[in-house]
Structure 1
Amino acid sequence: MKAYERFHKIDDDFRNPFARDRDRIIHSGSFRKLEYKTQVFLNQEGDFFRTRLTHSIEVSQIARSITSHLGLNESLAEAIALAHDLGHTPFGHIGGDALDECLKNDGFINGFEHNFQSFRVVSSLEKRYKAFDGLNLTFATLEGILKHSYPYKKSFLPPLIHEQFNLDTHPSVEAMIVDRADEIAYMSHDIDDGINSGLISFSDLGESSLIQEILHKVQSEGIERSEDEMFRYRFSSHFINHLIYSLIQYSKERIVLNRDEHSVGFEPKLETEIKKLKKLLFSKLYQHKDIMVKMFAGKQAIKGLYCGLMEEPKMLPEFYLKQLDSKQKHRVIADYIASMSDRYALSFYNEMYGKLY
């Protein structure tokens, strides 16, 4: 029986149901693997850079701060935030794109989508109970993981998912807050990591009026503009606080009046500035030569692992090999690859084909 096919009996527990969901997510194997999954910089680039694990923790902290202030369910937002990236492949979005391409080239039109994979991880792929699959999470947490990124892709999802989660409706307010907390977190830490790595500078982002406003706040503290750690720390602090306060101020009355997909966000001028900053980060950082080289190598590793395992599935671990009796080979292999850390994916690729780099 799948976790989303039934409503869960809430047993006696000292925790509230969503705090229990959070604990089950934190103690899952998939959560631990996030430590070695890429955010932007490959894990072996250095201990300082963010990974999917540190990113998820930062998203959780921001989501908790917002929901707590707005009088919403802090534990629900925390659980959704901690689980929202469990379905990510190694090597960030490029790894997911490569796996999606592999599946579609083999005729699987549903391909691979990391949000749905996160849902599959907690509802079926994690094994913690003899009687059923998944982590036994509450309906609200499962819905938030599935629907937190709105508008979301849904055309390829199974009919049962449509029926159970009513995908024509917007997600919960807590889920929408997680989506915006995710945005705040990755912009902040990608700027910090990018500058720390020397790939970008504050001057590269100078055409953003949002960046200029935050820089002015840092300089008003008497800290000289530079790329050193103190300056970057104060910049990140002001950047996150500015966006949190702006989101709370703009959203609090809208959430009370009308809890729909437009109730959580920023005032229009700031939304425009955020979009401009994202474009700057895309062109200056995410498409930087050094990043592109590493991501291209990761993409080749994903494709190589997929092709090798399709040709010789007996290389699968026993846990996945047994699933071939009841599941499609393509999906089993995709699930295995998606579960890998960056380090393990590269190690397995090198073992399979020889040294990649």
Structure 2
Amino acid sequence: MRAVYASDPAKSRGRLVDEGLSTFRSPFQRDRDRIIHSSAFRRLKHKTQVFVEHEGDYFRTRLTHSLEVAQVARTMARALGLDEDLTEAVALAHDLGHPPFGHTGEDALSAAMAPYGGFDHNAQAIRIVTHLERHYADFDGLNLTWETLEGIAKHNGPVAPVPGDGPVAPVPGGGPVAPVPGGGPVADPIPWALAEYCAHHDLELHTHASAEAQVAALADDVAYNHHDLHDGLRAELFSTDELAGLPILDACFAEVDARYPGLNYYRRRHEALRRFFGVLVEDVLAQSTARLAELDPRNVADIRGAGRPVVRFSDALFADLKAIREFLFHRMYRAPSVVEMRAEVTRVVAELFPFFMAHPGELPKQWRKDVEDIAGDETALARIVSDYIAGMTDRFALQTHARVFGSELPGVGGMENL
């Protein structure tokens, strides 16, 4: 049963370019389908989550991660009476803007783009679905509904100040902006790609997004907290016994050991991690149900105007997750083998960017046409180069670097045979 505060596809604010309604799909179903069929979504297959794509066939990629997020998001949306199709659309699109090599690639591209307005993967996702996907005769992008675009842009919270609240500063990591103590002038916190789009199609960046988008954001947290533990175990960066001593996981392993004494090593850790997964989902649902009951929203506008998220973890569980993330930071994200590869792939992005800035004629034909249209504008060229590099898969970035600079990075030879 649809809750009164759920997004209603029949009341969608529509698309920037009117297309009329589909015969048998709701507007949000149509959005989901367009995302799945997009080129950017297919490229997620060969974009890293934590490990570089060629390091192992069983580690998560951005594509498998996005599918897991969508599964969790639909489950939670159904339990909360929300629109499942909108939730799934936002979940599937939430990582479309990531460049190759995950957050390492984003850091390198952000550094390269610092003189030209910076780089933000959420803003880049909006750029992809509104501009860079060029397949349709009547428009650039996917022409998604306002609600889906809003969810992609601000599923993690507002990205602009409330009008009249005074100066704000950007929060590291791309989260919601916050007032600056004492006031004073600050830099514009809105990523340029979002500001550029919202200048002609207002996504109301100062408010929270719909509950559906908030669910997609929490589903992302649930998925990566679960699968980073699984991938770290597979990579042998830490042991099962070490996990069994962490908050939440200690109770999960104890329950498995009590029910299945002497269970096989691999089955034991799988059973514990699936219970951990369940604990996170159940906590979000319980906490969100309580917050919704307290707020008593009568429509989706009440969700956007609540001034705080309505979908979230409990404080106690969030504190436990911080301990787990601290463990993962030191034992996985900063493991020597991961740090070594991070340095190598950082060099790939850091060297490709100035090369294409100096040699735009080396861009593919369809990109050179965009360069011809900007009449020597360096910032516009930087943004074209950034778009091109951000769209690369891990393997293509490595192949391009090898072709341009005539050398292969340690441990990544033979990529053309994958």
Tell me the TM-score normalised to structure 2 length.
0.80
CA distance in 2, matches of 1:38, 1:100: 17
The percentage of counterpart residues that share the same residue type is 38
Q: Which moved more, 1:320-329 or 1:157-166?
A: 157-166
Cα offset for 1:85?
A: 0.3
Partner of 1:124: 131
8 Å CA contact retained: 2:106, 2:119: yes
1:351 maps to 2:403: yes
* Within-5 A mapping of 1:103-114: 103-104=113-114, 107-108=115-116, 110-114=117-121
1:217 maps to 2:224: no
Equivalent AA in structure 2 for residue 215 of structure 1: F
Aligned to 1:209, the other structure's residue is in SS state coil
Change (3 A) 1:229 1:10: farther
1:155 maps to 2:208: no
Q: RMSD over aligned Cα, in angstroms?
A: 1.9
Aligned to 2:107, the other structure's residue is in SS state helix
Partner of 2:183: none
Change (3 A) 1:250 1:305: same
Give the counterpart of 1:310 among 357, 378, 381: 357
8 Å CA contact retained: 2:352, 2:401: yes
CA distance in 1, matches of 2:54, 2:261: 32
| Structure whose CA Rg is larger | 2
Cα offset for 1:7?
A: 5.8
Change (3 A) 1:160 1:315: closer
Cα offset for 1:82?
A: 0.4
Partner of 2:73: 63
8 Å CA contact retained: 1:90, 1:340: yes
Aligned to 1:165, the other structure's residue is in SS state coil
Aligned residues: 350
Runs (5+) with no aligned partner, structure 1: none
Task: Output one character per residue of 1:124-158: Cα deviation in whole Å (capped at 9) or x when no partner.
Answer: 11012122110111110011001112254443342
Aligned to 2:202, the other structure's residue is in SS state helix
Equivalent AA in structure 2 for residue 233 of structure 1: H
Partner of 2:227: 189
Q: Which moved more, 1:74-83 or 1:163-172?
A: 163-172
8 Å CA contact retained: 1:103, 1:112: yes
Partner of 2:281: 244
Change (3 A) 1:314 1:225: farther
Task: Output one character per residue of 1:266-294: Cα deviation in whole Å (capped at 9) or x when no partner.
Answer: 22111111112111111111100011111
1:12 maps to 2:22: yes
Equivalent AA in structure 1 for residue 144 of structure 2: L
Q: Which moved more, 1:342-351 or 1:323-332?
A: 323-332
Give the counterpart of 1:290 among 337, 342, 356: 337
8 Å CA contact retained: 1:8, 1:138: no
Change (3 A) 1:283 1:85: same
CA distance in 2, matches of 1:120, 1:229: 42
8 Å CA contact retained: 1:10, 1:17: no
Equivalent AA in structure 1 for residue 59 of structure 2: F
Cα offset for 1:356?
A: 1.7
Give the counterpart of 1:143 among 140, 146, 150: 150
Give the counterpart of 1:22 among 11, 24, 32: 32
Task: Output one character per residue of 1:206-229: Cα deviation in whole Å (capped at 9) or x when no partner.
Answer: 552212122223223305477x43
Cα offset for 1:234?
A: 1.6
Tell me the TM-score normalised to structure 1 length.
0.93
Give the counterpart of 2:96 among 73, 86, 89: 86
Equivalent AA in structure 2 for residue 179 of structure 1: A
Give the counterpart of 1:255 among 277, 281, 292: 292
CA distance in 2, matches of 1:183, 1:326: 41
1:274 maps to 2:321: yes
Task: Output one character per residue of 1:90-137: Cα deviation in whole Å (capped at 9) or x when no partner.
Answer: 000010110010111xx21x2100010011111111012122110111
Give the counterpart of 1:133 among 126, 140, 165: 140
Task: Output one character per residue of 1:237-269: Cα deviation in whole Å (capped at 9) or x when no partner.
Answer: 111111111111111132244233332112211
CA distance in 1, matches of 2:190, 2:330: 31
Cα offset for 1:12?
A: 3.0
Partner of 1:201: 239
Cα offset for 1:198?
A: 0.5
8 Å CA contact retained: 1:199, 1:288: yes
8 Å CA contact retained: 1:38, 1:91: yes
Change (3 A) 1:320 1:171: same
Give the counterpart of 2:83 among 61, 69, 73: 73
Equivalent AA in structure 1 for residue 231 of structure 2: D
8 Å CA contact retained: 1:123, 1:134: yes
Change (3 A) 1:224 1:351: farther
8 Å CA contact retained: 1:35, 1:52: yes
Give the structure with the higher percent helix: 1
Partner of 2:6: none
1:330 maps to 2:368: no
8 Å CA contact retained: 1:96, 1:113: yes
